[in-house]
């Protein structure tokens, strides 16, 4: 679907940040809700195209579609990108761009 955008998140990246926060006791004195996802924005269509490209799948015919072509009992927002400024500023982290993390993920899955 090319009419819904968000940010794919590599679970490894999220786990590494959580581990760092806990291991280094960065959480002390820091309360509240923190959002995390990889940097950048893409549609489900963009995400699918990049998965195919990075995994070497050149024969796939991936076509864009609208959300209403696949009815679902769940209503999803068209734009679901999280504001990560609080987690970056509070814990001094740099968040990888989603395409770099996708490359790492596919490399790890293949090896």
SS (H, E, C) the chain: CCCCEECCCCHHHHHHHHHHHHHCCCCCCCCCCCCCCCECCEEHHHHHHHHHHHCCCCCCCCCCCCHHHCCCCCCCCCEECCCCHHHHHHHCCCCCEHHHHHHHHHHHHHC
- pLDDT at position 25 is 82
Q: What ranges do the domains of the chain cover?
A: 5-110
The Cα 66–Cα 1 span in angstroms is 5
pLDDT single digits (tens) 5-41: 999 999 999 999 999 999 888 778 888 999 999 999 9
φ, ψ for residue 6, nearest 5 deg: -165, -155
- pLDDT at position 98 is 97
The Cα 111–Cα 108 span in angstroms is 5
What percent of the chain shows pLDDT beyond 90?
67
The Cα 30–Cα 50 span in angstroms is 36
| Average pLDDT over every residue of 57-83 | 87
């Amino acid at each position: 679907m090319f009419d819904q955008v968000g940010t794919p998140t590599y679970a490894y990246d999220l786990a590494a940040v959580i581990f760092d926060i806990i291991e280094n006791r960065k959480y002390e004195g820091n309360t509240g809700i923190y959002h995390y996802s990889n940097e950048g924005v893409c549609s489900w269509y963009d995400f699918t195209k990049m998965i195919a490209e990075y995994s070497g799948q050149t024969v796939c015919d991936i076509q864009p579609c609208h959300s209403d072509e696949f009815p679902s009992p769940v209503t999803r927002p068209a734009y679901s990108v999280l504001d990560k400024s609080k987690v970056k500023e509070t814990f001094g982290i740099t968040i990888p761009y989603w395409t770099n993390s996708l490359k790492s993920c596919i490399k790890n899955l293949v090896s």
